[in-house]
Structure 1
Amino acid sequence: MPTENKPADPFGPNGRTFHIHMSVRGAIRDFSKRQLKGMFNFEGGRPCTADEAKDHLLECLAQGKEVMPFGPPCEGFDFASNGCPGHDIPPPAVNAHDLVSME
């Protein structure tokens, strides 16, 4: 019977978090005016119009931003291509009282 080859876990032993992002070009190409309306808010809280959202997305492309995060950008976010690089989930803290002595 052949031995089973198990590949290394690509998400690490404790998992990995990836934050979602949106393609700027895809949003310009595929979103309807209804979807663009209110996509962004101004500092005062006023939602943008569809034309204002499209202008903002075009400005992002002019700045070299191909993707945008949903929410604030995470550490290491790559606006030029891949978005979130992924973040290892830290191992759970071990409480000294949970340790069992093998002696």
Structure 2
Amino acid sequence: MTIFHMKQSIAGCLRNNRVGTIDFLQDENGKPLSDAEARIELKKLLSKGHTVMPAGDDCEGFDVFGGGCPGHEPLKGSDLCRTMLEKNNELTIVIVSDISDEAALEHDRQYWVAVGFNHDSGKFVVNHDFDMEWPFAIAINPKTGEPFTAKEVGL
């Protein structure tokens, strides 16, 4: 299942929002823009040829010249596990492997307690192995004993 992020027509935003109602945009520092400031910025984007802007979460590869979101596959396996740790989701159970995500799932399902992700090495650290790091880890739902899905954790 491919995920597509929403896009907003810039011209439509300017045309369909009454004066004083474009209060949902921010500058590059996160400061909310007033309606007047937002309208100026949106008109600048139009003058540069931009036709759409993302509506919501960041979207890698977003085409501002009309294509919008290119589509994304849902996170799974080590990518999902890494993202869960980065978003501070508490992981209690993972299956690790030094070969691949698939090898972790084929493992004898010996579970490990996760303690984190080493950003310098790009590997997972589990408390049973002290200083041992693993390149692959699958987050396990303790209620089902099966790998978490992106949908289950809101990603």
TM-score range, shorter chain: 0.5 to 0.7
Task: Please tell me the residue identity of whatever aligns with 1:52.
Answer: E
**What residue is the counterpart of 1:30 in the other structure?**
16
Shift of 1:39: 2.3
**Mean Cα deviation higher: 22-31 or 46-55:** 46-55
Q: Mind listing any 5+ residue stretches in structure 2 that lack a counterpart? A: 78-100, 110-155
CA contact (8 A) 2:63 2:70 kept: yes
Secondary structure at 1:22 match in 2: strand
Structure 1 residue runs of 4+, over 6 Å off?
none
**Mean Cα deviation higher: 72-81 or 18-27:** 72-81
| 2:50 pairs with 1:59 | no
**TM-score relative to the length of structure 2:** 0.45
Equivalences for residues 22-101 of structure 1 within 5 A: 22-36=8-22, 38-42=23-27, 45-71=30-56, 73-89=58-74, 93-94=101-102, 95=105, 96-97=107-108
The CA RMSD over aligned residues, in Å, is: 2.4
CA contact (8 A) 2:5 2:57 kept: no
Secondary structure at 1:21 match in 2: strand
Q: Mind listing any 5+ residue stretches in structure 1 that lack a counterpart? A: 1-14, 99-103
**2: CA distance, partners of 1:44 / 1:17:** 28
The structure showing larger relative contact order (alpha-carbon pairs under 8 Å, at least 6 residues apart) is: 1
What is the percent sequence identity of the aligned residues? Answer: 33
Shift of 1:89: 2.5
Task: Please tell me the residue identity of whatever aligns with 1:29.
Answer: R
**TM-score relative to the length of structure 1:** 0.65
> Which has the larger share of strand?
2
Structure 2 vs 1, CA of residues 43 and 61 (structure 1 numbering), >3 Å: closer, same or farther?
closer
